[in-house]
Structure 1
Amino acid sequence: MSDLVLGMDVGGTSSRAVIADLDGRILGRGTAGGGNPTSRGVGPAMTAIGAAIEAALAGGAEGPIDRARLRANVIGAAGFGATDAYAALATMWHELGVPGEPVLVGDVEVAFASGSDALDGSILIAGTGGVAAAIIGGTLGPMADGLGWMLGDHGSGYWLGREAIRRTLQPGRDPADPLGDLVSQRLTGTSLTGEWVVDRLAILTAAYALEPVRLSEIAADVVAADEAGSRQAGEILASAADELVTTLAGIHRPDDGPVVVLGGGLLSSTRLGELVADHILARWPRTTLRHTGSGAGGAAWLAARNLGIDLPASVHAALTRS
């Protein structure tokens, strides 16, 4: 019977697990709720991670998976800074009867591995937050930004939302520009279509009543306004691209690896992703751009690589296919 590996991508909203053989075949998959112990609490996080592993161990058409065949694992997760979080993970691991000890790495490392099988390169992520990191010899190197909504996350969803509100409240707003109307509708339920006057107090009150991270939801309005021809939204996206590439420049060393992996919802299918890609290629023409794939598959690839086996690129492609 062939050896198997377990990979997990654990986030604040979902925990995903895959079990695969060394030919890249996925034999089991599992999905459960958020497993970040900082945002969810240690107990609920461990329950979610355990549920995802158990679902993956249930296997598929070939039936349940023999735990004894698991030779390696990697769990990509954030939020394990609490001193009791890893101990709880290890306890849950042994209760499930999974061999060995859980191997925990950062979610950024798993994200890079989901997009490239290279040992060296950089990753730039723009979703709710924004961060860039170097990968050196297969391990996490210097990081830039990722400082959260109060101190950083330039060019992120939070940043886009904040800039959209600021633009809406600027004097001399163009009433024909759709951005202000979308922002006002989201925050206050009131349309501004064709109106010069903005209810400044209502918008400010609604904005400050939100949890700061929820300002990232307004990023969708920026994207929608840009698609509707908004000049203001286009300017915000252009500025966000500049901010993100500046963040990347803080850690990217092309001579150490020309691969740049782009991750996060804002870089996957919107014009912001196109702008960032154009800026990167203009600044570093030899760059090879990749996009993140399956995070759990990327973790499984890292687990397989930790076995010291020289695996072909086709296995990486099979594991990380979204």
Structure 2
Amino acid sequence: MIGAHLGLDVGGTASRWVACDASGAVLARGSVGGATAHVFNSAERARLAAVFAQLAEALKSAGLRADSLSAGLTGFGAAAAEDIAGLALAALGLPREAVLLMEDIILAYAAHFQPGEGHLVSAGTGSIGIHVGANGDVVRVGGRGILIDDAGSGSWIALQALDRLYRTLDRNGSFAVMQVLADEIFALVGGADWHHVRQYVYAGDRGRVGTLAVGVARAAERGDATACAILREAGVELAALAGALQARAGTKPMAFIGGVLTLHPLIFETLAENLPGQAVSRPIIDGALAAACLQSDHGGTQWRAILAAGPRLG
């Protein structure tokens, strides 16, 4: 078996992994099942344990042995660190000091910026912005969940569309004035009757609700004015997250990531317009590769020290 530094980017629907050697050269990569870091929930704990078991099997099949593990996890919190590390140790046979755990957004920041270098805003099912300072202090904006905010996220876009559709129905008795948007949303829901929508929204989770943002983007492509307005508003909200980071942590380059940006060009165009004269980018981030490199000779000692101290989003 060849020893390897292992990087893991755990997502709710799938988890990507990369194995690299001491120099940072990739030895293998792949994907396993999805999970969250919510190990206080027995079902989620079992899902995460299965991720580590699948990962161990994938490494074995590739003729590799994990010498270290660096992992970013959706929903990670310091209180769960030892429990999660225990699951990883049981599957991979690593000593505790070889396991480095962090929030997935922290991993994404480390994959793109050096400590203190910039601001990162992520817009997927939810929305959040962070700045990690040179001393490891974290400034966090947003990311409070759809019941509080998550403005500009996929879930927010979907809920804005549903709200406007039903306000129109209440006023007019039909969806006729925004029929294109209604058709795209209800096609994804699987029916236009209220009981279809109610079951889809209230029996699911935020990830399922967020998929309806695709319908908003499709309606915008067909020229629906309401859909276009919602997408522009999402861009304004994401720019506001970046603006909040600038106000609290200084003017620095800003990077935007996440699936929402792929929905429609209006979103990124609008957020850039709302940050005039600022350095704005839309990088493609390989979190699993960045994680794998963290404990290799190729990894930065500054990031290793910061991450070992366990920076918290707050």
TM class, shorter-length: 0.7 to 0.9
Does 1:278 pair with 2:281?
no
Segments of structure 2 that go 5 or more residues without pairing to the other structure are: 304-314
Q: Return the offset for 1:242.
A: 1.1
CA contact (8 A) 1:114 1:292 kept: no
Q: Return the offset for 1:5.
A: 2.6
2:301 to 304, 308, 318: 308
Q: What count of residue pairs does the alignment treat as equivalent? A: 291
The one-letter amino acid of 2:7's match is: G
The one-letter amino acid of 1:35's match is: A
Give the whole-Å Cα distance in 2 for the aligned partners of 1:109 and 1:13: 19
2:106 corresponds to: 109
2:312 corresponds to: none
1:46 corresponds to: 49
- Taking only aligned residues, the RMSD between alpha carbons, in angstroms, comes to 3.2
Segments of structure 1 that go 5 or more residues without pairing to the other structure are: 191-198, 311-322
Q: Return the offset for 1:76.
A: 0.7
Does 1:14 pair with 2:18?
no
Q: Deviations over 1:229-272 (max 9, x none)?
A: 11111100111111111122222359756332212101145224
Does 1:180 pair with 2:175?
no
2:147 corresponds to: 150
Measured at CA, do residues 46 and 128 of structure 1 come closer, stay the same or move farther in structure 2, by a change above 3 Å?
same
Q: How does 1:82-97 map to 2 (within 5 A)?
A: 83=79, 86-90=82-86, 92-93=88-89, 96-97=92-93
2:217 to 212, 223, 245: 223
Give the whole-Å Cα distance in 2 for the aligned partners of 1:262 and 1:224: 22
The one-letter amino acid of 1:90's match is: G
1:189 corresponds to: 191
The one-letter amino acid of 1:164's match is: A
Measured at CA, do residues 53 and 9 of structure 1 come closer, stay the same or move farther in structure 2, by a change above 3 Å?
farther
Where 1:133 maps in the other structure, the secondary structure is strand
Where 1:251 maps in the other structure, the secondary structure is helix
Q: Return the offset for 1:130.
A: 0.9
Measured at CA, do residues 227 and 115 of structure 1 come closer, stay the same or move farther in structure 2, by a change above 3 Å?
farther
Q: Return the offset for 1:149.
A: 1.3
Measured at CA, do residues 232 and 273 of structure 1 come closer, stay the same or move farther in structure 2, by a change above 3 Å?
closer
Measured at CA, do residues 259 and 55 of structure 1 come closer, stay the same or move farther in structure 2, by a change above 3 Å?
farther
Measured at CA, do residues 239 and 73 of structure 1 come closer, stay the same or move farther in structure 2, by a change above 3 Å?
same
Moved beyond 6 Å, runs of 4+: none
Give the whole-Å Cα distance in 1 for the aligned partners of 2:59 and 2:123: 29
Measured at CA, do residues 17 and 183 of structure 1 come closer, stay the same or move farther in structure 2, by a change above 3 Å?
closer
Identity %: 25
2:58 to 55, 59, 65: 55
1:74 corresponds to: 70
2:245 corresponds to: 251
1:165 to 139, 162, 166: 162
Does 1:134 pair with 2:131?
yes
Measured at CA, do residues 299 and 58 of structure 1 come closer, stay the same or move farther in structure 2, by a change above 3 Å?
same
Give the whole-Å Cα distance in 2 for the aligned partners of 1:81 and 1:181: 40
Measured at CA, do residues 58 and 184 of structure 1 come closer, stay the same or move farther in structure 2, by a change above 3 Å?
closer
- Greater CA drift, 49-58 or 106-115: 49-58
- Greater CA drift, 151-160 or 273-282: 273-282
Does 1:31 pair with 2:48?
no
Measured at CA, do residues 98 and 202 of structure 1 come closer, stay the same or move farther in structure 2, by a change above 3 Å?
closer
Give the whole-Å Cα distance in 2 for the aligned partners of 1:187 and 1:102: 41
Q: Return the offset for 1:53.
A: 4.2
Give the whole-Å Cα distance in 1 for the aligned partners of 2:183 and 2:209: 16
Q: Return the offset for 1:153.
A: 0.6
Q: Deviations over 1:198-218 (max 9, x none)?
A: x6x557645654435132121
Give the whole-Å Cα distance in 2 for the aligned partners of 1:286 and 1:308: 30
CA contact (8 A) 1:160 1:236 kept: yes
Where 1:168 maps in the other structure, the secondary structure is helix
Where 2:12 maps in the other structure, the secondary structure is coil
The one-letter amino acid of 1:167's match is: R
Q: Deviations over 1:285-311 (max 9, x none)?
A: 24151424222012124334656399x
Where 2:64 maps in the other structure, the secondary structure is coil
Measured at CA, do residues 141 and 24 of structure 1 come closer, stay the same or move farther in structure 2, by a change above 3 Å?
same
Give the whole-Å Cα distance in 2 for the aligned partners of 1:207 and 1:309: 46
Give the whole-Å Cα distance in 1 for the aligned partners of 2:236 and 2:154: 14
The one-letter amino acid of 2:188's match is: R
Measured at CA, do residues 248 and 147 of structure 1 come closer, stay the same or move farther in structure 2, by a change above 3 Å?
same
CA contact (8 A) 1:129 1:156 kept: yes
Give the whole-Å Cα distance in 1 for the aligned partners of 2:291 and 2:113: 12
